[in-house]
Amino acid sequence: MDKKKNISMAVIKRLPKYHRYLRELMENDIDRISSKELSEKIGFTASQIRQDLNNFGDFGQQGYGYNVKELYNEISAILGLTKIYKTVIIGAGNIGQAIANYTYFDKVGFSVQGMFDINPKIIGLKINDVEVLDIDFLDDFLRKDNIDIGIICVPKNSAQKVCDMLIRNKVKGIWNFAPVDLQIPEDAQIVVENVHLSESLLTLSCLMNDDIN
């Protein structure tokens, strides 16, 4: 959606939270909800919710609120969840296995096609019915299977090499769990989302630090 290019990153990062809460409302058989009621559940102000959603269209009705299912479907479409993403996980250690075993991803369209590792003790194992293959086969696998997303769960000294391979094989997105900032060529047609677990933990530590509170 080209329109997303004009939407702030702050708004985009709030969309998954809307999606999660709306899914919970549907599971509890709630058909409609006002921005005020949604505000009380989600923690954003009612004004913020209306502003966020108005970026994508006119979803609510005055005096009625939002149709939960319709809004959920609209946000699913905005998030790109109306298609299947063919995904590979590179690095089948603890983080890679945890991602492979998280069945929610498959439910929303992120289908793990393969897992790869360098460790002979892991190669050949099946994680959630996906066999771990030798990383030497990754290049051919990417070339033949038109993979959309590569999930990097390797040590930082191997991450850039994996990243370069993903870019070379026209993967559209990288979800990076390696504790390193990847170098992406300016002309690369790829989106990268970094998940630095250590930085998140240190942020928590800072917020708990009495010296700054």
Beta-carbon contacts of 201 under 8 Å, excluding residues fewer than 6 positions away, are: none
The residue type of 52 is D
Q: For 114-140, what is the mean pLDDT? A: 96
What would the mean pLDDT of 197-213 be, rounded to a whole number? 83
| Domain residue limits, the chain | 2-78, 85-200
Tally Cβ neighbours within 10 Å of residue 29.
7
Neighbours of 131 (CB within 10 A): 12
Tell me phi and psi for residue 60, to 5 degrees: -100, 165
| Predicted pLDDT at 211 | 66
Residue 5 reports pLDDT greater than 70: no
CATH topology of domain 85-200: Rossmann fold (3.40.50)
Give the per-residue pLDDT at 7.
Answer: 83
- State the pTM of this model: 0.88
DSSP element (H, E) containing 89: strand 85-90
State residue 63's pLDDT score: 65
**pLDDT bracket for residue 142 (50, 70, 90):** very high
- β-pair type (149-152, 173-176): parallel
CB-based burial, 139-148: b 16+ in 10 Å, e otherwise: eebbeeeebb
pLDDT in tens, 75-123: 999 999 999 999 999 999 999 999 999 988 998 999 999 999 999 999 9
Q: And the tokens for 23?
A: 């899914």
> What mean pLDDT, rounded, does the chain reach?
91
The predicted pLDDT at position 210 comes to 73
Looking at residue 212, its pLDDT comes to 59
Confidence of residue 1 (pLDDT cuts 50, 70, 90): very low
What mean pLDDT comes out for the span 164-186?
Answer: 95
Q: In Å, what is the CA distance from 25 to each residue of 17, 42, 186?
A: 12, 11, 42
Express each pLDDT in 60-86 by its tens digit.
666 678 999 999 999 999 999 999 999
Say whether pLDDT at 201 is over 80. Answer: yes
Looking at residue 213, its pLDDT comes to 53
Q: Mean pLDDT throughout 22-29?
A: 96
Q: Going by DSSP bridges, is the β-strand pair 149-152/191-194 parallel, antiparallel, or unpaired?
A: unpaired
Instruction: Compute the average pLDDT of residues 141-145.
Output: 93
Q: Which tokens hold the place of 208?
A: 């708990």
Among the four given CATH numbers 1.10.10.60, 1.10.3210.10, 1.10.10.10, 3.40.1190.20, the one describing domain 2-78 = 1.10.10.10
